[in-house]
Structure 1
Amino acid sequence: MRTVLILAYYFPPMGLGGVQRPLKFSKYLPQFGWRPIVATVKDVSYYSQDRTLLEELPEEVVVSRSGSLDPLRLAYCLGKQEKPIGRTRGRGRSLAQWMLFPDNQIGWVPFVVMRALHLIRRYAVDAILTTSPPASSHLAGYLIHRLTGLPWVIDFRDAWTGGEFDQAPSYAHRWLACTLQQHFIHRATHVIAVSQDIADGLTDTLPGAPPVTVIPNGYDSADFAFPVNRAPANKFILTYCGALNAARNPEPLFQALQRMSAQQTNLADLLEVRLIGEDLGLSVETLIRKYKIQHLVTHFGYLTHEKAVTQILAANALVLFITSESHQVKGVPTGKIYEYLASGKPILAIAPDGAASDLIKRYDRGQTIPPDDVHQIAMALGTWIRQYGAGDLPEYPVEDEPIRPFSRFQLTDQLAQILNHVVTP
C-alpha cells in the first residue's frame, strides 16, 4: 500500500462543511491502495466541534496534530475554546488581514512543515496532497515539495483569489496572492478543483497552467444507512441544513412565511421549518422575531453531521439558500447540495442561476426561485403543502442511480487514480 501525506488544517474534531472533503478522502483512500497520513493542527477555537466524525476513519489512517501560532490556536490556548476570533470585526480583523499573509493560518506553516518532514521519514510517504482553504496549506506543501522532491497534488475546495473567502485588504496583497498561486500551480504535479468554475478560473488566468481535474464534493452512502424517524404525518416539514451567513441568508423565505401566515392563520398546523446549522454573524433568531414567525421556524443551531443527515432524511422537502450575486458564490455549489440530491427529497432552491440551480434542474429534483421573488417562493411552498396533504408531493429514491457518481467512494477513486498517476515513473 502506498502512502499519501494530506495537509488539512480544517479536519475533525472541527465541524462544518470544510472538514468533510479531507475526512471522506481519508476514509476511503485505503480501499484504493493508499494509506493517508493526515497532518493537521492541534485543537483550536472554532465555531463547531464534531468528534463523532473521527470515528469514521479506519485504523490504518494516521492523524498527526502539530502546534501553531495562528489566531485560532492561540485563542484556544487562552481558553476561548468554542468561538473563533478569525472573523472578528473591526480593527483586529483588519490588522490580521494586513499582517498575516496569505491568511490567518500562516502561523501553522513552520510547525506543519517540520511535522511533515518527520512523517515522511517515518512512513515512507509517496505523495503529498494539500487542500485549501487555508491557502497556507499550499505554502507548506510547496516547501515540503521543494525539500523532498515528492509529487505534490493541490486541491482547491474554494477559490483562493477572487473567491468567497478572498479578503485581501489591498491591491498589493491580491497581486502577491495571485503571483503565489500561479507559482504553486506551475510547480505542482497535479491540480484538483471542487468545481468547473474554479478550474476555469485557474486555467483562464494562468497562461500555460497545467490541466485542472474537477472532483466535486459529494455524499457518503454510509451516512444514509441508519434508521430515521420520519416527520409527523399531519405537518409538512421543510428543512435547511448548512451554515447561515450573508451569502446563505434565509430572509427571503422568512418574508414569504410572513406573507403566508398573514393569509392563513392556521399555517402553523400545516408547516414547520427547521434550520440546521451554525449562525455565522447573521442573527437568525433576531430575523425570526422580526418577521414574527416564531410559531413556524425553529433554529436548531449546529448538529453533528450524523444528526444533520437524519434531519435531512426526516424532512418532507429541503430548502437551499444562495443569496449572493457574487460569481464566485454562484459558481461553486454548496457541499450540502449533494446530500440533498441523494436524500430523494424535493428541493426548493432560493438562489440565482448558478452551479447549484443547474444541478437541481439537471436531475429534476425541485425548483429554483430568485431570492427577490418572495411572491413566487410563497406560491411554491403553498403548492407543496397542498400536494403533501393530498399525498402527491414528489419524492425520489434515496441514492438514485443518476446521483451515484457523486458518492464519496467514487470520488475518492478519482483521487486515487490521480495519485497513482503522479507517482508512476
Structure 2
Amino acid sequence: MMSNLSVLIAAWYFPPDGGAGSQRPASFARHLPELGWDCRIVTRSESIQRGRWNHLDRSLLSELPSSISMVRVDDDGPFHESGFPGERDIKAHIGPLCRRVVHEVAATNPDVLLLTMSPFILSEIPKMIPRHSETSIVVDLRDPWILDYWPIQSSRAVRRRQRALMRDMLERADGIVMNTPEAATQCMEVFGTHLRPKMIALENGFEPRHFSNSVIPRSSSIRIMHGGTFHCESLHSPRGVRARVAAMRHASRGSIDRTGRTPHHLFEAARLLRDEKPDLASRLHFDFFGHIDSGLETCVRDGGFDSQTTLHGYVEHDRMTHHIERASALFLPGGKLADGVRDPITPGKTYEYLASGRPILAALHPGSGLDLVSSCPGVYVCDPCSPRSLAAGIESVATLLDRSPEDMSLVEQRQPMLAPFTRSSIAGRLSEFMKMLTETKRSSRSTRE
C-alpha cells in the first residue's frame, strides 16, 4: 500500500480568521486528506489583533478534520530578511511565520509546499528554500497581485519592483494556481506562455451541504442581501494635503471605479423606483452583513433608505449561509473597469450565491465572474455604476419573486453549471495537479542522478 503524499500549507489567513482569504486554504485542508494527502498547516496565532479583514469566525475552525497537523506561530516580529516593497504593516509581524515555513520544509521534507497569497510578501519564501530541495513549491494566487486592478501601490517604482518580484516567484515556482480562468490567461499574456504547463485555474467554490434547505420565501417584502465588505471609502476624496499628495503618487494596474463596491448606486436605483414605481420601492429592504465602518454608515444615512436598511455586522460563516438561504435576492457588486478591459477576478461569494438558488443582482464588469453568472438562470446583470441599470435589475427580480414557486426552482436549474465548483471538486483538481508536479520533480531528479 502506497503511503500518503504530504502537503505543507502556509497561510497567513486561516480559521478562526473569517473571510474569503481564510475559507480557501481551510477548504483545501478539509478535503485534501480525503484524497490521500497528509496535511500540515503553518499559520499565525489565534490570539491576534483583529480588524476589517479578519473577524473572528470559529465556525470555520470547527469544520477542519482532526487528521490535519497544525503549527500556530505565536511569535510576532519583522521580516528583516525581506526586501519586499509594500505591505509594511504585515511585514512588521510576519517574520517568524516565514522563517517557520522554511524550517518546516527543511525538517519534514513535504512533497508539496502550498503558499496561499495574499499577503504577497509570502512570495519571498521560495527564494529562501534551496534549489535542490525535493519539495515542490506551489504558489496559490487567490488574488492575482499585479494583475488585479484593486491594489494600490505607493508609487510607480514600488509597482515596478513588485511586478519584478511576481515574475521571479512565478519562474521559481514548480506550480502556479490562479483563481479564475481570466486571471490565468492574463498571467500568461503578461509573464509568458511558457508558464502554461505548470499553471492551473482553481476557483473558490462552495460546500453543497450549506445550501441543502434553500427555498425562496413567500413574502411581499423584497429583502436584498449583501454579504461581505463594502469599500465606501471610495465615495470620498482623500482629506488633508498630505493624503492628497500621497494619492497623486499612487500607482495601480489601471482605472477602476471603486464606488461599484458600495451600496451607493443601489440606493440611487431605489430612489428612481421610489419616483417611478413607489409601490415597488416600498417593498424593498436591504440587509447588509459584514464589517461596519463610518463610511458605510454615512452611505446608508445619505442613501435615503436608512429605515429600510439593516446593518447586521459580521456574522460567522455558518450563520451567513443560513441568511443567504432566506434572502429574497442577493446583491453581487464589483468595480467598473474601462471599456474593453476584462476583470481578472470573481468575487469569492459568487459561488455560494449561485448555489443558494437565490435571484442575483449581478453588478459586475465583463470578465470571468460575469461569464459564469451570465450562464445561470435567475441572474440579472447590471452595470456596476448605473442606477438605471440596477433599477431595471430590481424590477426583474420583483417579477421573478411574484411568480408561483413552481417557476423558481433555481437550485436544480443551476446545478449542472455549478458541479465543477464544489469545494471537493476543486480540491480534487488541486490534488491531481500537485501529484503531477511531484511526479515531474521525481522524474527530473532521477534523470539527473
Per the normalisation by structure 1, the TM-score is: 0.84
2:315 matches 1:303: yes
2:266 matches 1:253: yes
- 1:150 aligned to which of 124, 131, 135: 135
Alpha carbons 2:78, 2:95 under 8 Å: kept? no
Match of 1:202 in 2: 187
2:41 matches 1:55: no
1:231 positional shift: 4.1
Alpha carbons 1:129, 1:141 under 8 Å: kept? no
Match of 2:5 in 1: 2
CA 1:64–1:234: 2 relative to 1, 3 Å = same
Match of 1:213 in 2: 200
Q: Deviations over 1:278-329 (max 9, x none)?
A: 24x6722212221220222212121111111111111122121113326988
Range that drifts further, 174-183 or 52-61: 174-183
- 2:386 aligned to which of 362, 373, 377: 373
Q: Deviations over 1:255-293 (max 9, x none)?
A: 1112223445555763322112224x6722212221220
Match of 1:87 in 2: none
Alpha carbons 2:102, 2:128 under 8 Å: kept? no
Match of 2:371 in 1: 358
Match of 1:68 in 2: 76
Q: Deviations over 1:143-197 (max 9, x none)?
A: 1354844110111111221424533222332222222221221111111100122
Alpha carbons 1:128, 1:141 under 8 Å: kept? no
CA 1:329–1:322: 2 relative to 1, 3 Å = farther
Alpha carbons 2:77, 2:94 under 8 Å: kept? no
Match of 2:51 in 1: 46
C-alpha distance in structure 2 between counterparts of 1:264 and 1:174, whole Å = 48
CA 1:383–1:180: 2 relative to 1, 3 Å = closer
1:102 positional shift: 4.8
Match of 2:343 in 1: 330
CA 1:354–1:45: 2 relative to 1, 3 Å = same
The AA in structure 2 aligned to 1:153 is: V
Q: 2:204 aligns to what SS in structure 1?
A: coil
Range that drifts further, 356-365 or 125-134: 356-365
Range that drifts further, 314-323 or 377-386: 377-386
Q: 1:330 aligns to what SS in structure 2?
A: coil
Q: 1:338 aligns to what SS in structure 2?
A: helix
1:403 positional shift: 0.7
The AA in structure 2 aligned to 1:352 is: H
2:150 matches 1:179: no
Match of 2:222 in 1: 236
Match of 1:74 in 2: none
Q: Deviations over 1:346-380 (max 9, x none)?
A: 21112332322221112234121113432232233
Match of 2:24 in 1: 21
C-alpha distance in structure 2 between counterparts of 1:103 and 1:264, whole Å = 48
C-alpha distance in structure 2 between counterparts of 1:63 and 1:165, whole Å = 32
Match of 1:86 in 2: none
Q: 1:29 aligns to what SS in structure 2?
A: helix
The AA in structure 2 aligned to 1:331 is: P
Which structure 1 residue ranges, 5 or more long, are not aligned?
A: 72-98
The AA in structure 2 aligned to 1:310 is: H
Range that drifts further, 38-47 or 120-129: 120-129
2:63 matches 1:32: no
Alpha carbons 2:78, 2:94 under 8 Å: kept? no
C-alpha distance in structure 2 between counterparts of 1:115 and 1:49, whole Å = 24
Match of 1:412 in 2: 427
Match of 1:79 in 2: none
Per the normalisation by structure 2, the TM-score is: 0.80
Range that drifts further, 373-382 or 215-224: 373-382
1:200 positional shift: 2.1
Range that drifts further, 322-331 or 128-137: 322-331
Range that drifts further, 382-391 or 153-162: 382-391
RMSD: 2.7
- 2:411 aligned to which of 384, 397, 407: 397
Match of 1:313 in 2: 325
Q: 2:286 aligns to what SS in structure 1?
A: strand
Alpha carbons 2:31, 2:424 under 8 Å: kept? yes
Which structure 2 residue ranges, 5 or more long, are not aligned?
A: 235-257, 443-449
C-alpha distance in structure 2 between counterparts of 1:372 and 1:166, whole Å = 20
1:34 positional shift: 0.8
2:144 matches 1:132: no
Range that drifts further, 302-311 or 372-381: 372-381
C-alpha distance in structure 2 between counterparts of 1:291 and 1:113, whole Å = 45
1:5 positional shift: 0.7
Alpha carbons 1:322, 1:330 under 8 Å: kept? no
The AA in structure 2 aligned to 1:224 is: F
Q: 1:5 aligns to what SS in structure 2?
A: strand
CA 1:290–1:114: 2 relative to 1, 3 Å = closer
C-alpha distance in structure 1 between counterparts of 2:158 and 2:400, whole Å = 53
Would you say how many aligned residue pairs link Structure 1 and Structure 2? Answer: 396
C-alpha distance in structure 1 between counterparts of 2:400 and 2:112, whole Å = 53
C-alpha distance in structure 1 between counterparts of 2:206 and 2:390, whole Å = 27
2:26 matches 1:12: no
Match of 2:362 in 1: 349
2:437 matches 1:422: yes
Alpha carbons 1:127, 1:419 under 8 Å: kept? yes
2:106 matches 1:103: no
